[in-house]
Amino acid sequence: MAAYSLLSTLFIQSSSPFSRFPNRTQKLLPTSKPSFLFPTNKLSLSPLRSLVPNQTKTNANIKSDTDYLVSSALDSLFLLCTSLALSFSLFVTDVGSASAFVVTTPRKLQTDELATVRLFQENTPSVVYITNLAVRQDVFTLDVLEVPQGSGSGFVWDKDGHVVTNYHVIRGASDLKVTLADQTTYDAKVVGFDQDKDVAVLRVDAPKDKLRPIPVGVSADLLVGQKVYAIGNPFGLDHTLTTGVISGLRREISSAATGRPIQDVIQTDAAINPGNSGGPLLDSSGNLIGINTAIYSPSGASSGVGFSIPVDTVSGIVDQLVKFGKVTRPILGIKFAPDQSVEQLGVSGVLVLDAPANGPAGKAGLLPTKRDAYGRLILGDIITSVNGTKVTNGSDLYRILDQCKVGDTVTVEVLRGDHKEKIPVVLEAKPDES
């Protein structure tokens, strides 16, 4: 482009007779266009008439006319050489006629786009890829092999190498591999897990300079409509970002392992697909607000409804798993009937099927369902409320117990026969967690 501007300047200067002969305006050609570019124009005979002998002209005038003719010839020769040089340069560089002098403007991003790009770049180092390996025996050779049986995502929790993910991502694994953002892979050990809330903690022996803990936020003040961002490895692909908004709060889903309800779940329309499980859900500041856990889809792919366990629930579970390797959760020590069976009886509550004598409910005197000497079914106690909170099904009972601690004394109101009784029960931990 610069070469073209220089040649254009030379062309204008050389083609203008005013620049070289300011006193010979009467010798100008009748057209202002260069004759070598427009050959159809008639050549002016004014300079040629100067060659005809004129007895009235002086020797000085004749000499001046001769100098002008020579100068014009030199100018035309210069312009011809310049045109040829320009044409040759365009031919050599092979520049298209339409784009020879087109200047491409730099790409500019909007403010919200820049914020999204920055969020992805800053939080990607915290997201890991988890491979679940299982032992399989070859049918023909009987060799024992480790084969991938699933994969998912996770994120770095601290500099000690703790990685948080979903329990269903690591369930049934004989070996686990964790791949960091720089594509380095490490063997992972299970620190602990909580099947009821679908949370697990792993640990990798990676250098601390490669571990980037994710910033932890809060989920208590979330609002429907605020933007959220999900980072994970769907379908085994590299780090992928999907965006959306919070489309619902305080949802309830069931744990994939135990069927126990998980309360206060975040619902989002950010695309969550197989492989996103265990990955982080972030707010617009890049802070962790949940763990992507499940999708609601008959086809198994994202249908616009995804669920994430809130970070306030996850934080307490992770702290217990890191410190003790287990989660101590209180229980009543009962087995209860399915909700459909109680509805068929025409009552509302939780029917006690079994209450072991060494459990909290058995020690307190709750009666289980049993048969008499004639084989007739005798219904046990039906729990209708705990601490004054109404209980209509098993989910209500779990929800109340999640708010209690081991050692707490709760007042259980039961329907026994045709009357109600209130029984105090001291909550205990699971036998395998004591």
Which residues are bridge partners to 277 per DSSP?
none
Interatomic CA distance for residues 92 and 83, integer angstroms = 14
Active-site residues: which are they? 168, 198, 277
Interatomic CA distance for residues 29 and 22, integer angstroms = 14
Which residues are bridge partners to 428 per DSSP?
331
Count CB-CB contacts under 10 A for residue 80: 11
- Give Cβ neighbours of residue 207 (< 8 Å, ≥ 6 apart): none
Interatomic CA distance for residues 119 and 287, integer angstroms = 10
Residue 308 has phi, psi (to 5 degrees) of -135, 135
- Read off the tokens for 281: 């859900």
Residue 91 has phi, psi (to 5 degrees) of -65, -40
Q: Are 267 and 287 in contact (CB under 8 A)?
A: no
Percent helix, strand, coil in the chain, to 5, is 30, 30, 40
Max CA pair span of the chain: 156
- Read off the tokens for 36: 């070598």
End-to-end CA distance of the chain: 81
Interatomic CA distance for residues 34 and 6, integer angstroms = 18
Q: Are 253 and 269 in contact (CB under 8 A)?
A: no
Count CB-CB contacts under 10 A for residue 428: 21
- Give Cβ neighbours of residue 183 (< 8 Å, ≥ 6 apart): none
